[in-house]
Structure 1
Amino acid sequence: MSELLRRYPLPVIVLAQLFGTSLWFSVNGVWVSFSRELSLTESDLGLYTLAVQAGFIVGTLTIAVTGLADRFGASRIFAVASLLGALANGGFILAAAQPPVDGILRFLTGLCLAGIYPLGMKMVIAWTPKYAGAALAWLVGMLTLGTALPHLMRGATLGMPWEWPLLGASLLALVGGGLVLLLGDGPHLPKSNGAIPLNRGLAALRAPRFRAVAGGYIGHMWELYAFWMLTPLLVSRELQRLAWPEGLVPWLSFGIIATGALGCIGGGRLSRRLGSDWVARRALALSGLLCVGYPLLAWLPPLALIALLFVWGLAVIADSPQFSALAAANAPKESVGSSLAVMNAIGFGLTLPAIWMTSGLWEYLGPWVVAILIPGPIFGLWAFRGIKEGPTR
């Protein structure tokens, strides 16, 4: 079985990434029925999302400062994280709306995701180093589909208990962890010997090019997860204006977020011809324009705004794999995992205030709340300005 999987390492890794990251927004996917049953508000949705993000940040920082990603096999960390994440996600069903246990379990889910997403990036680079930009595009595409998957699972189980999609996400994570464990680690990254200096991951930020790439990624992250959190709220607003059934919310939310996978994969193909920097810059600029334009166009017919959300869903994530590929290419080879973990930790750190503000102000600002996301693309483009364009891989 292992030999068969090693013939097709990229499909195995991206499928495991899809299954593992279904844990991320598992609660968001069932939000409409979940919140009604337990009398929760949009601020509660923000708090659950923040707990996952906070757990992910703590996890990535732990990986970065301890060098775990460079001291132990990525496949083993991925598999253990998938198992523990599945248990924490399943445990949430028993503790829903019972603070602080519910929040702690979402935090633990995010902590485990730190062993899935960054380690998945390292495995892709280890197995397919020649075209890292295109390969990472598939990986982040699966992260995007994994984020959207709970919405699809909720749409497919309408009328059934909201617990079912959460259990489904946990089962998928277990399968993903098992696949990666059977696959093992790739041959193309050097293994570290002995202890890893605590600041090795942070040291990559001293390199101007890596710092510029990290700045672009950080700006992109200010926007990304807040947009994904807002998607069902924005969709629900337009369906109410159309007087269409709210049962369409999970289907449309899935479609909008999942469209980002096409942006990732299409951007990955373009990166092989035009360069990762070319793709990242233009995707970030397009999503930035939508941050500016969407609230100004909130008077348009609902179907036009839903169409804009699909365009936004396509652009908002298309730059992410290219930033990751550029970061991996410019990080010290002996500490790629730790360097990516540092970049992820900083980027995800900025998702916290963005999610907190947009979820807390939605009740008062409605679609105008997306204006809070504008500084992210502006800063990212400014930080990335010194990177020259051209094919790089």
Structure 2
Amino acid sequence: MRASPGINVQLLVVVFAQFAGTSLWFAGNAILPELQPLLKMTGLTSWITSAVQIGFITGTLLYALLAIPDRFRSTYVFLVSVTLAAFVNLSWLFLPIKAETILVSRFMTGFFLAGVYPVGMKIAADRFKSILGKAMGFLVGALVLGTAFPHLIRGLDASLPYRTLMLSVSLLAVSGGILLTWVVPTTSGQARGRFFRFQVLTSLVKPSGFRPAMLGYFGHMWELYTLWAFLPTLIVYYKQEHSDVALMGSLWAFGSIAAGALGCVVGGYFALRVGSAQVARLLLLISGLCIILTPLFIAAPPFLFGLFLLVWGTSVAGDSPQFSTLVANYASTENRGSVLTLVTCFGFLLTVISIQLMAWLIDQVGMSGWLFYMLLPGPVLGLLAMRRMSQCD
């Protein structure tokens, strides 16, 4: 029998597989400059992003209701899901280039990513229990880097043909799934019966350590993706307010979002010392303060504004792995995969609502730093929930 690699090697492989798989999520954004002239469609950016988000929400709901992450071996679920996601990510290349085919491809890519991101967290929860906060930090950090990657490509003006880029990303994703299945051992599915037990839904609302962790995660998600979505818009607004300032907006956006990966990793190490709840509360508080200070820093010099974006980017993503750790720790072992998937589903549903609300406000009143106060209820309600959690511990 083949000996299992060490725990550090396994963690490295899970992190790589997570990055490789979730890079499919943002592949559509990286090729938008080449697609726009071919499609001549306005608002393509928001539609491509929303198609993946809605597909992911649909997929996570179905995966959870069918208990797929708990009924089958996690690494097999990851491999099959990432392979299907890679296939549909490429499917539109073999069809006439139309907005409809691209959006369906993006939707289905998001759908099958439901077996990648949450299942990767389940694998980490099963394999790295003693260092789960740190492991989650690396996992979510990989996702954050994948989010920032399209901005880096645009900022560096990469000229890869879009077909080559899409093929490369798909092959990378499948290779990550194969490597994960080969290196990381996993236990058999634990769920009994054919379907997700709906009684587990009661754990989302009954008083326990799980509920405040989940509510804190929801508050964090209300802020996170909306900031990421409108960060380039905020930077453009800053440039308009400071017409004498020359800066590369795409690289600023990349640096601000990528800083979240550092927050995830460093927060993971601190969680080993002070606990995930303490780290999550602190970073959620910092990101909430950044929302309040946004109008002030829009009037600040470029150096201070850039530093502000780095702090906000670090804190807004850095608490995510610790909320995932808390949810995983409080969820029952038998249904952990389904619960993680379901909570992720609801969290991403909130991001769609938050993004659409921000887009509507900008359309109604125009861009302003004060509009980001719309994100403030997320950190505030999340902190209130975490305060109640400290009483449960």
How far apart are the structure 2 equivalents of 1:20 and 1:283?
A: 27
Asked if the contact 2:218/2:382 (under 8 Å) is kept, the reply is yes
- Which stretch of structure 1 is more off in the superposition, 348-357 or 143-152? 143-152
How far apart are the structure 2 equivalents of 1:318 and 1:220?
A: 10
Do the aligned partners of residues 156 and 16 (structure 1) sit closer, same or farther apart at CA in structure 2, a change above 3 Å counting? farther
SS at match of 2:197: coil
The Cα of 1:184 is off from its aligned counterpart by: 4.4
Matched, 1:21 2:22: yes
Residue equivalent to 1:381 = 383
The Cα of 1:96 is off from its aligned counterpart by: 9.3
The Cα of 1:40 is off from its aligned counterpart by: 4.9
Do the aligned partners of residues 242 and 16 (structure 1) sit closer, same or farther apart at CA in structure 2, a change above 3 Å counting? farther
The Cα of 1:245 is off from its aligned counterpart by: 7.4
Do the aligned partners of residues 91 and 347 (structure 1) sit closer, same or farther apart at CA in structure 2, a change above 3 Å counting? same
- Which stretch of structure 1 is more off in the superposition, 173-182 or 11-20? 173-182
The Cα of 1:318 is off from its aligned counterpart by: 1.0
SS at match of 2:209: helix
User: In the TM superposition, what are the counterparts of 1:31-180 in structure 2 within 5 Å?
Assistant: 31=32, 34-35=35-36, 38-41=39-42, 43-92=43-92, 98-180=98-180
Asked if the contact 2:89/2:170 (under 8 Å) is kept, the reply is yes
How far apart are the structure 1 equivalents of 2:74 and 2:4?
A: 19
The Cα of 1:210 is off from its aligned counterpart by: 0.7
Unpaired runs of at least 5, structure 1:
none
Asked if the contact 2:64/2:339 (under 8 Å) is kept, the reply is yes
Residue deviations 1:199-251, cap 9 Å, x none? 154243135221111000001101111111122333344456457778x3433
RMSD of aligned alpha carbons: 2.8
- Which stretch of structure 1 is more off in the superposition, 374-383 or 177-186? 177-186
Do the aligned partners of residues 88 and 233 (structure 1) sit closer, same or farther apart at CA in structure 2, a change above 3 Å counting? farther
Asked if the contact 1:239/1:302 (under 8 Å) is kept, the reply is no
Asked if the contact 1:201/1:338 (under 8 Å) is kept, the reply is no
Asked if the contact 1:200/1:335 (under 8 Å) is kept, the reply is no
How far apart are the structure 2 equivalents of 1:146 and 1:76?
A: 23
Matched, 1:282 2:273: no
How far apart are the structure 1 equivalents of 2:95 and 2:304?
A: 40
How far apart are the structure 2 equivalents of 1:180 and 1:193?
A: 25
Asked if the contact 1:213/1:384 (under 8 Å) is kept, the reply is yes
How far apart are the structure 2 equivalents of 1:209 and 1:217?
A: 13
Residue deviations 1:342-381, cap 9 Å, x none? 2111111101111122234445522434232222112211
How far apart are the structure 2 equivalents of 1:4 and 1:252?
A: 42
The Cα of 1:16 is off from its aligned counterpart by: 0.6
> What is the percent sequence identity of the aligned residues?
37
Name the TM-score, length of structure 2 as normaliser.
0.89
Asked if the contact 1:200/1:338 (under 8 Å) is kept, the reply is no
Do the aligned partners of residues 319 and 239 (structure 1) sit closer, same or farther apart at CA in structure 2, a change above 3 Å counting? same
Name the TM-score, length of structure 1 as normaliser.
0.89
- The count of residues paired between Structure 1 and Structure 2 equals 388
Asked if the contact 1:153/1:165 (under 8 Å) is kept, the reply is no
How far apart are the structure 2 equivalents of 1:252 and 1:297?
A: 15
Residue equivalent to 1:198 = 197
Unpaired runs of at least 5, structure 2:
none
Residue equivalent to 1:293 = 293
